[in-house]
Structure 1
Amino acid sequence: MNHTTSIAAGVLIAAMAWAAPASAQERQGIEAGDVLLRVRGILVAPTESSSGIRPTFPGEKVSVDNSVMPEVDLTYMATDTIGFELIAATTKHTASGKTGTTGGIGDLASTWVLPPTLTVQYHLNPQGKIRPYVGAGVNYTVFYNEKASTGLKSAVGPTSVHMSDSVGWAAQAGIDIDLTNRVFLNLDVKYIDMDTKATLRTTAIGTQTVDVHLDPIVVGVGFGIRL
């Protein structure tokens, strides 16, 4: 278990322990004023498309791999049915060449991605034990700790990498299933509009750029608690 996973698990365990003495007669479901804390394991799967690597390899595109990490989110219920969810997670991804010269190099660069996302949710059946919801909102993505791969640096010399930040929209659908009066199972799927321009400054072939539409699907499974 990595350090980030340990922190996320610790947060949920502490919250569950705090709630444990609650009476079995407490209400079920959710209502206005509730705060919902969830910890999920997420799969971030880019549905990427890219431009060519310009100007030297205009016909060669890149692919971006999937990533699995923990995620923590908080939802504040403004009414019985309307909630505001803030999502916090960070994942690492690698961009690779697909064909030609860059395909022969393989991995080109890696980056960490921090995409805080705020969604407005509509919760169906808020007083029930099974509560579907849908949501839509905005996302701001920060790309950080970008690094050129060893293979790329071997091919074109010392290389620096920069990826521009992104602003986009997000959509989600999910379901909460009560396990106790306060603890629930959560299943969640999101689509995030996420674009970046990668700039590679190399020694041998100068500055190269590539536009990448990441647009990931994020699938999450985890547990939550009504605080």
Structure 2
Amino acid sequence: MQRKILVAALAVGVLSANVAQAEGPLMVRARAVFLDFKNGQNDLAAKVEADNRWIPEVDISYFFTPNFATELVLTYPQNIDIKVNGDKQGTIKALPPSLMFQYHVTELGAFKPYVGLGLNYTIFTKTRNILGGAASVDGSSWGLAAQVGFDYMLTKNVALNLDVKYIQMDTDVKVGGNKIGTLDLNPITAGVGIGYRF
């Protein structure tokens, strides 16, 4: 009888230890991200550009399995300066959330690289703020997004994160309500931050 009680106690102890060591399904990261706009021009007579800048970013990841996760990438509306032929001619706001589907490599100890593919939806506001209201851009943009990055687990729960994304993002440029061309923003983002695994 005592042997059965001892075996049961050992089994409960092992199970409890495994649960305690198991990684939770949620991870939250905060990053500082540099937006490098590619500013491709289609049919525009003047050179129209969005200005590169640093922005804050927060993402929430849910792990369906140790290897597969989905990540929602968020920030608040960001001011983007618009230049025409090199001179600032207005400022618009952009809110660019992305939803990524990821594969994480888990066999390398504390070093956990990942790749992701997903969709970006950018909402532009204050779109008529260019050339004193004479020019405007469209209000939204859909595009694919791809990423590569890694988490390095500093502790069981805290990680250092590096992340690079490519985002398809474009908007039509209009003068007097008539489309005069398309600005292909297509930024590459590079971010560094801290993550916490729940």
Shorter chain as denominator, the TM-score bin is 0.7 to 0.9
Structure 2, unaligned runs of 5 or more: 1-16
160, 165, 168: which one aligns with 1:185 = 160
Q: 1:217 and 2:156 equivalent?
A: no
Q: Which residue does 1:16 correspond to in 2?
A: none
Q: From the CA coordinates, give the structure whose radius of gyration is larger.
A: 2
Q: Is 1:109–1:146's contact at 8 Å kept on the other side of the alignment?
A: no
105, 109, 120: which one aligns with 1:124 = 105
Q: Say which SS state the counterpart of residue 126 (structure 2) adopts.
A: strand
More strand by share: 2
Q: Is 1:186–1:221's contact at 8 Å kept on the other side of the alignment?
A: yes
CA positional deviation for 1:39: 0.5
Q: Say which SS state the counterpart of residue 112 (structure 1) adopts.
A: strand
Assess, with a 3 A threshold, how the Cα gap between structure 1 residues 74 and 112 changes in structure 2: closer, same or farther. Answer: same
81, 89, 94: which one aligns with 1:94 = 81
Q: Which residue does 1:42 correspond to in 2?
A: 33
Assess, with a 3 A threshold, how the Cα gap between structure 1 residues 222 and 207 changes in structure 2: closer, same or farther. Answer: same
Q: Is 2:173–2:181's contact at 8 Å kept on the other side of the alignment?
A: yes
Q: Is 1:68–1:91's contact at 8 Å kept on the other side of the alignment?
A: no
Q: Is 2:66–2:106's contact at 8 Å kept on the other side of the alignment?
A: no
Q: Is 2:113–2:150's contact at 8 Å kept on the other side of the alignment?
A: yes
Assess, with a 3 A threshold, how the Cα gap between structure 1 residues 119 and 126 changes in structure 2: closer, same or farther. Answer: farther
- Partner Cα distance (1:169, 1:126) in 2: 29
Assess, with a 3 A threshold, how the Cα gap between structure 1 residues 92 and 40 changes in structure 2: closer, same or farther. Answer: same
In the TM superposition, what whole-angstrom CA distance separates every residue of 1:21-60 from its partner, at most 9, and x where no partner exists?
Answer: xx9x9537x4xx610000001111111111244xxxx3x2
Q: Which residue does 1:15 correspond to in 2?
A: none
- Partner Cα distance (1:88, 1:123) in 2: 20
Structure 1, unaligned runs of 5 or more: 1-22
CA RMSD of aligned residues (A): 2.4
Q: 1:226 and 2:197 equivalent?
A: yes
Q: 1:83 and 2:69 equivalent?
A: yes
Assess, with a 3 A threshold, how the Cα gap between structure 1 residues 127 and 226 changes in structure 2: closer, same or farther. Answer: farther
- Partner Cα distance (1:166, 1:81) in 2: 30
- Partner Cα distance (2:34, 2:156) in 1: 28
CA positional deviation for 1:209: 3.0
- Partner Cα distance (2:81, 2:180) in 1: 16
**Residue correspondence of structure 1 range 156-195 to structure 2 within 5 A:** 159=134, 161-195=136-170
In the TM superposition, what whole-angstrom CA distance separates every residue of 1:90-131 from its partner, at most 9, and x where no partner exists?
Answer: 432122122xxxx5xx12232111111011100002672110
Q: Which residue does 1:13 correspond to in 2?
A: none
| Amino acid across the alignment from 1:186 | N
Q: Is 2:72–2:98's contact at 8 Å kept on the other side of the alignment?
A: yes
| Amino acid across the alignment from 2:95 | L
Assess, with a 3 A threshold, how the Cα gap between structure 1 residues 96 and 131 changes in structure 2: closer, same or farther. Answer: same
| Amino acid across the alignment from 1:125 | T
- State the identity as a percent: 36
